[in-house]
Structure 1
Amino acid sequence: MLRRGLRQVLWTGCTALGVVGGVLPLAADTARAVPVPTASTERAHTDVLFVGAHPDDESSSLAAFGQWRERQGLSTGVVTVTRGEGGGNAVGTEEGAALGLIREGEEREAVRRAGIRNVFYLDKPDFWYTLSAPLTAAVWNRPPQPPADTLSRLVRLIRATTPREVVVMDPRPFRQHGGHQEAARLAVEAFRIAGDPKAFPEQITREKYAAWKPSRLLATNGGFLGPVGEACGRYRGSDPHTGLPVIGVWTGTASRGHHGTTWAQIERDATREYVTQGFASLPPKVETPREKLPCEWFTVLADRRTPPAPAAHDQSGPLPRDSQLRPLYADFRAWARRMRMPWLANDAQPDYPANPSTDVPAVAEAPVVDGVAGPQEYPGPALRLTHWEGARCADQKDCATDVRFSRRAGDLYVFVRVTDDVKGYALDAVADCKRHWRTDAVEIALDPRGRSDDTSTTFKTGILPFTKGGSGPCAERDADNRQGPASRTAPGMAVASAVTDPYRGYSVEVRIPLDILPASVDPDRLAANVLLYDSDTADRTGQTRLAWSPYGSAQADPYVWGTLRLPGYVPPPDHPAQPARIPQEAARSSDSKASLEQARRTGVPLAGGPRRPPEGD
């Protein structure tokens, strides 16, 4: 009964004004419950505040934000925790802060199409793709910053911009970027405490902000399987995991301000602004018939009438005990309980399939690393890689891959044979080797102890079998314990490739000394995955991905990797675990003309930092 009552309360708050024509109204009690912004805040006021981790995180919600503005006069502001410095670059070689400033420009151009003027950056460092919110939190709040530095900046921005609605990303761990998870977690907590004068009280006593409690909290729900077409905007759905209401905004609505263009098309035009992320390769025109265009879905996490700690959503079976949860999922459940939203952790940990495994045979003579599997060099079975993401291989000639392992003393040998029909773009061996996922490439991931919760304690190498100008293969390490060219980060590693002529595919052969892994190898639990990236175009975008263990985020989730057993291998006694080296470079708002102009116009300090108290205080 309590759960049914909760659902009714939330729906009352969501639909008292009705969801008309795919437009999502504010909570019904907004007008009487939320005070009008004062003169000191009205320059920065926004009705809706979206919180994301990177430029482009808002791109799949721009159709909704644009409609709210056009049809209800609701302004939207965007908070972006980082500038995506750790992401790829499909059109140039800029990295780090230089890339971050380019991505800021792309984001400002994209959101402008939906009528969004203000984007607030927190200047936190972006690094490689991870599934770990705890790791992301550690990087964003690295000493000497306080542990709650990012949270305090978000609370300050809510108090400065006085939104009625806060929109977050999906905080759940499975297949979610750790940055997205952490940005959502922080925004949920900021939503809860920004109205409490005891939370970061110096913002009130010294900086003269007022405590501010937004009316409603929404989370994007891109995985929700609701109806398509205009009726989806009136559909009353519920999230299958939490039981919370899900509401939709139809992307097929015609924009009055854009001469009848659908918001789906406007959003596509905006998304194509992200050229560094390869989004310019999206078709310029949305070809889906208007009557089949989908909604953008949002889960209502809380509104003003939500009980502080309602019961968890009923499930068909008992909830797993904490001891049955892997560490990342146990951490998420603990956080959800602290937020008094325990239902968010329902079904968070998926039913992982059994991990594949194989024995790695020891060989009497070391294989010659030449890109060719010689007789007796790889006596073990050929392990087939299967579809993981993207388009499926049309046939065996389109893309097919198998991998073999062997060991000689303390060296692991890997031979990957690839059948491919179209040669992808040849990247530069020096400037672009780290962007292996953008063209034809092989990736090898190793977790030495078989118990990592994220890839910061693993070894990962990406290998391009061919590079620009016929320079041969190149290898690097990325998204792992130590990143950079293999020549610098993986001493003793050797790589060779053989590319067929005429082109029908290639092979890659690698020697990896086990003593360069970030910890001593457990011969019974060495976890591994081998992944193939296949691109049939010259625009530096991938089409197909295969993996030995293809479940979930196969390249970033050590929980799914297979097991390599090394019979007879004895690890050296002196091999301490190595601390991770994670990039900390972040673009600064003080180096951005657009951010400086925005700060002058809105009165909100750069990077969500403290403002000076009024003179005389």
Structure 2
Amino acid sequence: MSDLDVPARRSRRRPARIAFAAGAAAFGLVTAAVVAPPAAAEHAEHWNRAHNDVLFIGAHPDDEYQSLSTFGQWTERRRWSVGVATITRGEGGGNAVGQEEGAKLGLLREGEEREAVAHAGIRNVFYLDKPDFWYTLSGPLTGRIWDGPPQRADTLERLVRLIRATTPHTIVTMDPRPFDQHGAHQLAGRLAVEAFRLAADPNAYPGQIAKERYRPWQADRLLAQNWRFSGPTGPGCATADLTDPASGLPQEGVWEGALSWRTGTTWAQRERDAARVYRSQGLGALPAKITTPRHQLGCDWFSVLAEDGRPVRAQVREQESLRPLYQEFRDWARKVGMPWLANDAQPTYPANPSTKVPQAKRRPQVDGHGGQDEYPGESLNLVHWQGDRCASPQDCSATARLSRDGDDLFVYVEVSDDKRGAVLPAEDCKRHWRTDSVEIALDPRGKADDTASTFKVAVLPTTAEGRPCAARDADQNQGPARETAPGLEYASKPLASSPAGYAVEVRIPLAVLPAAADPNRFAVNVLVYDSDTDDKVGQSRLAWSPFGSAQADPYVWGAARLVGYTPPPGRPVDPVPPVIPTEAARSSDSPASVAQSRRTGVPLGVGPRTRFTP
């Protein structure tokens, strides 16, 4: 075995938990001058231009922002350099500042990320140039897009290369667990777990060692963000000995109330300043000032997945009757030697609501008026699902009714609203969650594991052009309804009984669904998004079936039996393959990425190194 085959290890130096004066009886007496800034870590790799003490691995620009308080403290107090690996540039996300989409949006978001992380002293952001498409809860679907044709199946390979290039002692990533979380976040966490181990294995991607002249590298620690963990507040949260009740893993806390030596403000405030840079994602609407009293500020929480290069073990609790998405995650957790990550991964889903979709007594006219003969079925109440709770029924409330005539499904939704949200141009129809809108989600076979085999359509009741618009989003074929759902009709009308209330009516030809509708297993969810501001940020969300990510989790949607319906012969039983956008920005088109590559020696997109330059 050559010296290049021997995994290098750095001496382990854990992020120091902030010490506070023992005599400070009141939190207000704790100051930033308790300790002096330590000298630079003695193990810093001065010979390595690409070296970072800590590497964060995320999926999109802004995935790191809720940890910037921690990263800023590590850079300022420990003098540790922190790098960020961002697998995509968020091309499939929203845009609250303009009409850029695809690669142009990705480059815009890169600029925001670089500006934001600079608040925490972060200089290096490495992009893997993988495509971002839509909000999905499926890690496996994300993997098929990142590593399926026309992409090269090399996301893990690039992460292993980046760890070997940057030689971090600590790797921080996202929670890999599946429930109620973006599939891209899950997959970023999974790939980081695998790359943490493989980077030290000389048999993993041996060409990186033999041809590119990297060395195997074993990082000491692996942490995962744990946004769901609710621990104590105040400075004591950073020294508390706590365990995540879900996974059973120890939790590390870093207090956001620590003061920055540079500004004299809390790191919670500096993190807020950074977050507001992500204007395209609506974070610019966050209040400029943190008003929580300092002694009530909490910690950033991280699950400790590995110490001294080895997994931290926890008791394994097996779950029975796993649905396919959770069974796949359990199998992955076993494969990587961390089966406890699947503990309680599948939540206790509530019983799905159910209704009957009757034949209309009179064929509905799509005009925004829902007569009783047109919709003879029961009225479905939409209840709070996410965001701010409605202050009153007048503030926001909604009901929906369904009916069928022949091969057409009709949906009528009435929304009470006291204030109109931002009026978007019709070309911005896909970003319905940023303002007042109605969304209808259909699973024709009632057995989808993700939305790639479903039909989803959203309607804005009005646009800047003075008319409603409709578009499909995050489903089998997204885009304007006129292009992706031939024959779909929609209309909206204001409600006289509500200042900003409205009704939306939609006719959906069952022929446009990705598979034949099964009348006994048909699944539906109806959702309403409410905004009372013009900053393109939603406030309240309502749903007929409100649990988890109700818009993206078909396991949640309600049963809607199509009374008397038989699909025409010849309709496909298996959903047709989805059409998924894969446009991605390239590092070669980013002057900032090109300059960083020249400075660090890490190739653009973390691709193969063709020339060895220490």
Give yes or no for the alignment of 1:373 onto 2:389.
no
Amino acid at match of 1:116: I
Q: For residues 353 and 371 of structure 2, what CA distance do their matches in structure 1 show? A: 26
Question: Shift of residue 306 of structure 1?
Answer: 3.7
Alignment-derived partner of residue 502 in structure 2: 506
What is the count of residue pairs matched by the alignment?
A: 581
Alignment-derived partner of residue 90 in structure 1: 96
Alignment-derived partner of residue 182 in structure 2: 177
Contact 1:55 1:107 survives alignment (8 Å): yes
TM-score between both structures, scaled by the size of structure 1: 0.92
Q: Structure 1 residues 593-602 or 233-242, which shifts more?
A: 233-242
Give yes or no for the alignment of 1:167 onto 2:172.
yes
Match of 2:487 among 483, 492, 516: 492
Match of 1:607 among 605, 608, 613: 605
Q: For residues 314 and 539 of structure 1, what CA distance do their matches in structure 2 show? A: 46
Contact 1:131 1:556 survives alignment (8 Å): yes
Amino acid at match of 1:300: V
Alignment-derived partner of residue 228 in structure 1: 233
Q: What secondary structure sits across from 2:365 in the alignment?
A: coil
Question: CA, structure 1 residues 306+202, in 2 after alignment: closer, same or farther (shift >3 Å)?
Answer: closer
Question: Shift of residue 504 of structure 1?
Answer: 3.9
Match of 2:82 among 73, 76, 82: 76
Amino acid at match of 1:302: A
Amino acid at match of 1:268: R
Q: What secondary structure sits across from 1:91 in the alignment?
A: coil
Alignment-derived partner of residue 565 in structure 1: 561
Contact 2:357 2:402 survives alignment (8 Å): yes
Question: CA, structure 1 residues 305+603, in 2 after alignment: closer, same or farther (shift >3 Å)?
Answer: closer
Give yes or no for the alignment of 1:299 onto 2:297.
no
Q: What secondary structure sits across from 1:329 in the alignment?
A: helix
Amino acid at match of 1:483: Q
Question: CA, structure 1 residues 533+14, in 2 after alignment: closer, same or farther (shift >3 Å)?
Answer: farther
Give yes or no for the alignment of 1:193 onto 2:191.
no
Deviations 1:400-449 (A, max 9, x none): 100000000110000001111001111101x2111110000000000000
Question: Shift of residue 365 of structure 1?
Answer: 2.9
Contact 2:398 2:415 survives alignment (8 Å): yes
Q: Structure 1 residues 166-175 or 565-574, which shifts more?
A: 565-574
Give yes or no for the alignment of 1:313 onto 2:315.
yes
Contact 1:366 1:377 survives alignment (8 Å): yes
Match of 2:477 among 477, 482, 488: 482
Q: For residues 494 and 305 of structure 1, what CA distance do their matches in structure 2 show? A: 58
Q: What secondary structure sits across from 1:88 in the alignment?
A: coil
Contact 1:20 1:234 survives alignment (8 Å): no
Q: What secondary structure sits across from 2:598 in the alignment?
A: helix
Give yes or no for the alignment of 1:438 onto 2:440.
no
Deviations 1:324-363 (A, max 9, x none): 1111101111111111000000000000000001010102
Q: For residues 226 and 530 of structure 1, what CA distance do their matches in structure 2 show? A: 35
Aligned residue runs from structure 1 range 7-406, under 5 A: 20=19, 37=45, 39=47, 42-147=48-153, 149-258=154-263, 260-304=264-308, 306=310, 310=313, 312-313=314-315, 319-321=318-320, 324-406=321-403
Deviations 1:591-614 (A, max 9, x none): 000000000000000001001044
Deviations 1:552-605 (A, max 9, x none): 000000000001101210111212231100000000000000000000000000
Q: For residues 177 and 547 of structure 1, what CA distance do their matches in structure 2 show? A: 19
Q: What secondary structure sits across from 1:556 in the alignment?
A: coil
Deviations 1:252-311 (A, max 9, x none): 1110012x1110000000000000000000000011111111110111101126468x4x
Q: For residues 293 and 128 of structure 1, what CA distance do their matches in structure 2 show? A: 33
Contact 1:20 1:233 survives alignment (8 Å): no
Contact 2:219 2:309 survives alignment (8 Å): no
Note the residue ranges of structure 1 that are not aligned, 5 or more in a row: 1-12, 24-30
The Cα RMSD (Å) is 1.8
Question: Shift of residue 193 of structure 1?
Answer: 0.8
Aligned residue runs from structure 1 range 507-586, under 5 A: 507-576=503-572, 577-586=575-584
Q: What secondary structure sits across from 2:579 in the alignment?
A: coil
Contact 2:16 2:78 survives alignment (8 Å): no
Contact 2:218 2:309 survives alignment (8 Å): no
TM-score between both structures, scaled by the size of structure 2: 0.92
Question: Shift of residue 487 of structure 1?
Answer: 0.6
Amino acid at match of 1:384: N
Alignment-derived partner of residue 36 in structure 2: none
Note the residue ranges of structure 2 that are not aligned, 5 or more in a row: 1-11, 21-29, 33-40
Q: What secondary structure sits across from 1:320 in the alignment?
A: coil
Q: What secondary structure sits across from 1:123 in the alignment?
A: strand
Contact 1:466 1:499 survives alignment (8 Å): no
Question: CA, structure 1 residues 578+516, in 2 after alignment: closer, same or farther (shift >3 Å)?
Answer: same
Q: For residues 235 and 306 of structure 1, what CA distance do their matches in structure 2 show? A: 23
Q: For residues 356 and 46 of structure 2, what CA distance do their matches in structure 1 show? A: 69
Q: Which contiguous aligned blocks of 4+ residues in structure 1 show a shift greater than 3 angstroms? A: 13-23, 35-38, 144-147, 305-308
Amino acid at match of 1:226: G
Question: Shift of residue 243 of structure 1?
Answer: 1.7
Q: Structure 1 residues 377-386 or 239-248, which shifts more?
A: 239-248
Q: For residues 612 and 113 of structure 2, what CA distance do their matches in structure 1 show? A: 33
Contact 2:91 2:105 survives alignment (8 Å): yes
